[in-house]
């Protein structure tokens, strides 16, 4: 497994070794020691999966009282995955990183607790599969506005406007959003 830091060093890109032949392939998608060796002492407690059509943007979501770390990958299709640093004490506060995740490239992104997370589907449809370090809590769910000018995410939109949920349309601007210490 090749593991590299992104422009925000706490956000890691995992690129698994693919063992393939004429029958197909095998990849290891998770190994706890990769986290432990980097001083990340968190336990994954929940796995999630979503299917979305092209042009769907989900996010940018985070939980304030029960922050979730997420290890995300595309099980099918391709998407642009984004993490925004919401930690006031961080030197990268308010900065974002985005990477293409696809079933073809098999990459995974580690989004640590303290980050808002979202993705945009660039293929006909995409399946996002992710592990979480804390349980989902609807009463603690927050949404940062996907197109906030302060954050300035450069989404690779395939249409003029993304498909959004009502919650995501009403996301908070960065200057009004709750943040971590």
| Architecture of the domain made up of 42-176 | Sandwich (2.60)
pLDDT band at 87 (very low <50, low <70, confident <90, very high): very high
Q: Report domain extents, the chain.
A: 42-176
pLDDT band at 82 (very low <50, low <70, confident <90, very high): very high
The residues annotated with a catalytic role in the active site are 61, 130
Residue 160 confidence (pLDDT):
86
In this predicted model, what pLDDT tens digit does every residue of 112-125 receive, in sequence order? 999 999 999 999 99
Local structure of 168: helix, strand or coil:
helix
Length of the chain: 181
Buried b (16+ CB within 10 A) or exposed e, 114-136: bbbbbbbbbbeebbbbbbbbbee
The rounded distance, in Å, linking the Cα atoms of 178 and 181 is: 10
Let me know the angle formed at the C-alpha of 12 by 75 and 155, rounded to the nearest 5 degrees: 65
In this predicted model, what pLDDT tens digit does every residue of 160-173 receive, in sequence order? 899 999 999 999 99
Contacts of 93 (CB under 8 A, 6+ apart): 85, 86, 87, 179
């Amino acid at each position: 497994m090749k593991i590299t830091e992104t422009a925000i060093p706490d956000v890691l890109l995992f690129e698994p070794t693919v063992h393939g032949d004429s029958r197909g392939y095998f990849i290891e998608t998770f190994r706890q020691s990769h986290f432990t060796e980097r001083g990340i002492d968190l336990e994954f407690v929940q796995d999630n999966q979503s299917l979305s059509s092209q042009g769907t943007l989900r996010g940018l979501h985070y939980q304030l009282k029960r922050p979730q770390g997420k290890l995300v990958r595309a099980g099918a299709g391709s998407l642009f995955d984004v993490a925004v640093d919401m930690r006031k004490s961080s030197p990268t506060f308010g900065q974002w990183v985005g990477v293409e995740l696809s079933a073809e490239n098999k990459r995974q992104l580690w989004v640590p607790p303290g980050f808002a997370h979202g993705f945009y589907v660039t293929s006909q449809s995409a399946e996002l599969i992710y592990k979480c370090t804390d349980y989902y809590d609807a009463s603690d769910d927050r949404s940062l506005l996907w197109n906030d000018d302060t954050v300035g995410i450069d989404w690779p939109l395939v249409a003029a406007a993304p498909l959004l949920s009502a919650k995501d349309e009403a996301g908070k601007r960065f200057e009004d959003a709750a943040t971590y210490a």
